[in-house]
């Protein structure tokens, strides 16, 4: 009889340990997921800042991207505190490269696991809504959540502009007056 009670106790402890281990795994994954979002958004913001710093005072079409994440950490004006590793895989990020220049325009996790978080993302990554894999969480600049100027917003010859803006010919205009050729 005591032998059966001991066996039952061992089985119950085994089941309890299994349940606790599954719960602990979920807690760890949620923590890693939060780190992934925080670090990814930080890298995405750093890419935007880097591009703005590189373009400052110059007229350059498009964005300017770094060759490495370490380039974002360089002084005198670092855009990123440190070159983070992917929190999910604890390895290097997979880089999303610009097709024209081959430079880094974003990062993503190499993990294909399903995230717990599916909704209520921060504004910088609200385009992650409903995405079913960490691999599909692409932190890049610009992205689908980045406010973009509506197409056709450029002023063409003969359209009115506001004070301080210029026409396509580079002529300044005044408030309420249409630009002239």
Domain that holds residue 104: 13-140
Q: Is residue 171 part of a domain?
A: no
pLDDT, tens digit (0-9, with 9 covering 90-100), for 71-80: 999 988 899 9
Q: Is residue 179 part of a domain?
A: no
pLDDT, tens digit (0-9, with 9 covering 90-100), for 126-150: 999 999 999 999 999 998 887 665 4
Specify the number of domains making up the chain.
Answer: 1
What confidence category does residue 65 fall into, taking pLDDT thresholds of 50, 70 and 90?
Answer: very high
Cβ–Cβ contacts within 10 Å for residue 124, how many? 19
Q: Is residue 174 part of a domain?
A: no
Q: Is residue 96 part of a domain?
A: yes
Question: Residue ranges of the alpha helices (H) in the chain?
Answer: 2-55
Task: Look at residue 148 in the predicted model and tell me its pLDDT.
Answer: 60
Q: Is residue 94 part of a domain?
A: yes
Q: Is residue 7 part of a domain?
A: no
Q: Is residue 177 part of a domain?
A: no
């Amino acid at each position: 009889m005591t032998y059966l009670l001991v066996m039952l106790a061992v089985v119950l402890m085994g089941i309890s340990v299994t349940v606790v281990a599954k719960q602990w795994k979920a807690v760890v994954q949620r923590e890693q997921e939060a780190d992934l979002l925080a670090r990814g958004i930080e890298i995405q913001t750093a890419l935007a800042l880097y591009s703005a710093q590189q373009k400052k005072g110059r007229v350059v079409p498009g964005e300017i991207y770094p060759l490495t994440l370490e380039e974002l950490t360089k002084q005198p004006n670092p855009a990123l505190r440190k070159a983070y590793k992917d929190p999910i895989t604890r390895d290097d990020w997979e880089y999303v490269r610009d097709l024209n220049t081959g430079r880094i325009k974003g990062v993503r996790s190499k993990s294909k696991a399903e995230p717990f978080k599916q909704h209520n993302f921060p504004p910088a990554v609200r385009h992650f809504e409903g995405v079913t894999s960490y691999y599909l969480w692409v932190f890049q600049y610009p992205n689908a959540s980045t406010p973009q100027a509506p197409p056709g917003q450029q002023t063409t010859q003969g359209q009115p502009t506001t004070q301080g803006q210029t026409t396509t010919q580079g002529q300044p205009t005044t408030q309420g007056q249409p630009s002239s050729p």
